[in-house]
């Protein structure tokens, strides 16, 4: 039997893209194909694991809003435990693991534990999901930059570190992740800080999946429009003139 104390494996932090298995990178597929263990979130391309990683043990560590939750500390421990047993461990996340995915924390935990770790970047949902909904996050003449922010806590929450007032006057496209529950408060804060209530906005739910749907409305009405549509996480909100940048494509011939 192999001595687990000397058979250190490795951890690969893989960004799985926004949900469609076709948007998983080639490097991500290669990592999964080599995995002994896959520690996965619910937002990764989980449905494709039977095809891509049939040999791997799948460990689900979902974080469902107001539901099932695996503490980050336990996820960190799982990565190290499996790697120290000599296994190749893939930590699979949705989007890119370094954008609100706590991938940096997992990297540091592995390094501190003496476990080899590498990262495979993923296609970020912050840019790809708006694109799939017909929204470029920058567009010549409309936006020269984009700010990606977390809406996990409301602007008036003591834990909020986002300068919403500065964003309101930045003239940047604003992309809000994890902001369904706080969208009304965010819109109010932006308007109060000077952003026009008529600024175009869009909310896209279940991006890059067959269930993807979106709604567009002025900033002052986007929260109520999303609520009326029954939007729930995961959803992304885009605020800025880019929401209306693209013309509708011409219909294709039958």
Known catalytic membership, residue 247: no
Q: Which residues contact 227 (CB under 8 A, 6 or more apart)?
A: none
- pTM score, two decimals? 0.92
Angstrom distances, CA of residue 182 to CA of 95, 169, 187, 242, 250 = 21, 20, 9, 22, 36
Options 20, 93, 96, 178, the catalytic residue: 178
41, 93, 96, 206: which one is catalytic? 41
Q: Residues 36, 63, 227, 241: which is the catalytic one?
A: 63
3-state secondary structure of 91: strand
User: What residue ranges define each of the domains in the chain, with the CATH number in brackets?
Assistant: 10-120 (3.40.1010.10), 125-244 (3.30.950.10)
Q: Is 158 helix (H, G, I), strand (E, B) or coil?
A: coil
96 catalytic? Reply is no
Distance in Å from the first CA to the final CA of the chain: 63
> What pLDDT sits at residue 62?
75
**CA-atom Rg of the chain in angstroms:** 20
Q: Is the pLDDT of residue 53 over 60?
A: yes
What is the rounded CA–CA span in Å between residue 244 and residue 114?
A: 49
Long-range Cβ pairs for the range 61-68 (8 Å, 24+): 65/181, 65/233
Under 8 Å between Cβ of 211 and 234: no
Per the annotation, the verdict on 93 as an active-site residue is no
* pLDDT tens-place string over residues 180-239: 999 999 999 999 999 999 999 999 999 999 999 999 999 999 999 999 999 999 999 999
């Amino acid at each position: 039997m192999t001595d687990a104390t000397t058979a250190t494996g490795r951890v690969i932090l893989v960004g799985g893209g926004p949900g469609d298995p076709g948007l998983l990178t080639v490097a991500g597929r290669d990592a999964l194909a080599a995995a002994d263990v896959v520690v996965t979130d619910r937002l990764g391309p989980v449905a494709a694991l039977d095809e891509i990683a049939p040999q791997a043990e799948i460990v689900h560590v979902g974080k469902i809003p107001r539901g099932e939750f695996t503490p980050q500390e336990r996820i960190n421990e799982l990565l190290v435990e499996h790697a120290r047993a000599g296994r190749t461990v893939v930590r699979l996340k949705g989007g890119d693991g370094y954008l609100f995915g706590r991938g940096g924390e997992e990297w540091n935990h592995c390094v501190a534990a003496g476990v080899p770790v590498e990262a495979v970047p993923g296609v970020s949902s912050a840019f790809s999901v708006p694109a799939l909904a017909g929204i470029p996050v920058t567009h010549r003449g409309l936006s020269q930059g984009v700010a990606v922010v977390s809406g996990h806590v409301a602007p008036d929450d003591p834990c909020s570190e986002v300068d919403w007032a500065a964003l309101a006057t930045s003239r940047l496209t604003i992309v809000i992740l994890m902001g369904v529950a706080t969208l009304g408060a965010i819109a109010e804060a932006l308007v109060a800080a000077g952003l026009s209530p008529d600024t175009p906005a869009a909310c896209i739910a279940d991006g890059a999946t067959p269930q993807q749907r979106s709604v567009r409305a002025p900033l002052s009405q986007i929260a109520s429009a999303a609520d009326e549509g029954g939007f729930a996480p995961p959803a992304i909100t885009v605020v800025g003139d880019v929401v209306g940048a693209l013309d509708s494509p011409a219909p294709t011939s039958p």
